[in-house]
């Protein structure tokens, strides 16, 4: 199988309420990626469209978006794995290109979550769990991750302040990300003072500040064979390793609540394929839908031993100047989380880092980057390793 590279990346601004259609929203990320890659629609011979269904009224959005983006009559595929849809889309595109079936594939992720109410959105998120044995009893995403936080605290002594420190870091970098929804600094005092925006209870021990926000947005990644990558791009970024796993949908079927099996299994696969270890990663994007999710990612990915993730954030080792910079674009906590577009946004950030084009968020001279993207409550896991 041939080498596969990323030659173009794009992302719309993530916003709370996008005024246009899903077609127009998807075009924003696509247009930026095409310009970044210096290619035309006729250069793309397949597309992979990624989103979580039921947030808009359009069935089979892949065909609709392919038409709007000028990608007919090339084949298009629809990929859905909840919040990790566009990372799974990248995996699909990699397989299509590495096998020789296609040469250049566009991976387009999108979500327009504002088309339904907040209550409807929570109900649909709940359906990402087992609709027979769990979601009918009122479980929602914050409650699930609150269980993870309680388990981590009970097992390792993690504190609410440790989690708040993750949001403080997110706010530090979110201020400089023009694509982010939340562009304000965050302090520990905002968590401790009753009545502030960050301190309101959501699901114990998680507070408002521990949770990411819904958003509308799109992303696009252009994937190419080695021959095409070298022809089109002066700075191709190579896909070194891919890992993917699924877990039992019911929480009762999980081996532990203090970490995510799918993240550990995906990371192991990706490290093995890339021929690297956790210590070799220079910059990472992890799925911080909640502060506890980033804490668990530190440990699941091998950046820290179980129970020692708190030491990384306390010592600021996951800041831009630290030994393992994580989410220096603000992460989901600052950018927002338009489900189908999130993985593509994470990939875009790492590509820009490896090219040295991340502006004020740039880490010093990174060579290897990692993306950790989780779907549902640890139902799907995808880990991607990219190299310069």
Catalytic residues: 83, 337
Rounded to whole angstroms, the Cα distance separating 102 from 251 reads 39
Beta strands in the chain, from DSSP E residues, in sequence order: 4-11, 46-50, 76-79, 104-112, 201-203, 206-207, 216-225, 237-246, 283-285, 368-375, 380-387
Per the CB < 8 A criterion, the answer to whether 136 and 156 are in contact is no
Rounded to whole angstroms, the Cα distance separating 183 from 128 reads 29
Interhelix angle 291-300/141-156, nearest 10 degrees: 50
Name 290's bridge partners. 211
Burial label for 275, CB within 10 Å (0-12, 13-18, 19+), is exposed
SS3 291: helix
Rounded to whole angstroms, the Cα distance separating 149 from 52 reads 25
């Amino acid at each position: 199988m041939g080498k596969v590279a990323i030659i173009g990346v794009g992302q719309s601004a993530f916003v709370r309420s996008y005024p246009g259609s899903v077609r127009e929203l998807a075009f924003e990320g696509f247009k930026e990626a095409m310009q970044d890659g210096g290619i035309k629609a006729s250069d793309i011979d397949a597309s992979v469209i990624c989103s979580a269904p039921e947030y808009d009224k359009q069935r089979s959005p892949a065909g609709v978006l392919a038409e709007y983006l000028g990608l007919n009559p090339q084949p298009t595929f629809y990929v859905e794995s909840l919040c990790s849809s566009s990372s799974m889309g990248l995996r699909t595109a990699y397989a299509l290109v590495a096998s020789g079936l296609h040469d250049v594939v566009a991976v387009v992720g999108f979500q327009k979550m504002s088309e339904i109410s907040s209550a409807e959105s929570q109900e649909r998120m709940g359906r990402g769990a087992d609709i027979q044995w769990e979601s009918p009893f009122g479980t929602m995403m914050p409650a699930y991750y609150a269980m993870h936080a309680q388990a981590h605290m009970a097992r390792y002594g993690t504190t609410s302040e440790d989690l708040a420190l993750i949001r403080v870091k997110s706010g530090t970098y979110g201020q400089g990300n023009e694509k982010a929804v939340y562009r304000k600094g965050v302090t520990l005092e905002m968590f401790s003072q009753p009545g502030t925006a960050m301190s309101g209870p959501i699901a114990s021990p998680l507070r408002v500040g521990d949770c990411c926000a819904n958003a509308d947005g799109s992303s696009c990644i252009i994937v190419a064979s080695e021959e095409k990558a070298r022809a089109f791009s002066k700075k191709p970024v190579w896909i070194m390793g891919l890992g993917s796993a699924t877990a039992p949908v019911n929480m009762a079927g999980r081996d532990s609540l203090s970490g995510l099996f799918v993240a550990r299994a995906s990371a192991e696969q990706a490290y093995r394929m890339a021929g690297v270890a956790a210590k070799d990663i220079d910059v990472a994007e992890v799925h911080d839908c909640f502060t506890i999710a980033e804490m668990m990612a530190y440990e699941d990915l091998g950046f820290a031993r179980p129970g020692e993730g708190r030491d990384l954030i306390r010592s600021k080792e996951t800041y831009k100047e630290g030994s393992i910079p994580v989410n220096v674009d603000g992460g989901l906590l600052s950018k927002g989380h338009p489900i189908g577009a999130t993985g593509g946004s994470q990939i875009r950030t790492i590509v820009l880092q490896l090219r040295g084009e991340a502006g004020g968020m740039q880490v010093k001279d990174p060579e290897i980057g990692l993306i950790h993207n989780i779907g549902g409550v640890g139902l799907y896991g995808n880990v991607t390793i990219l190299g310069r």
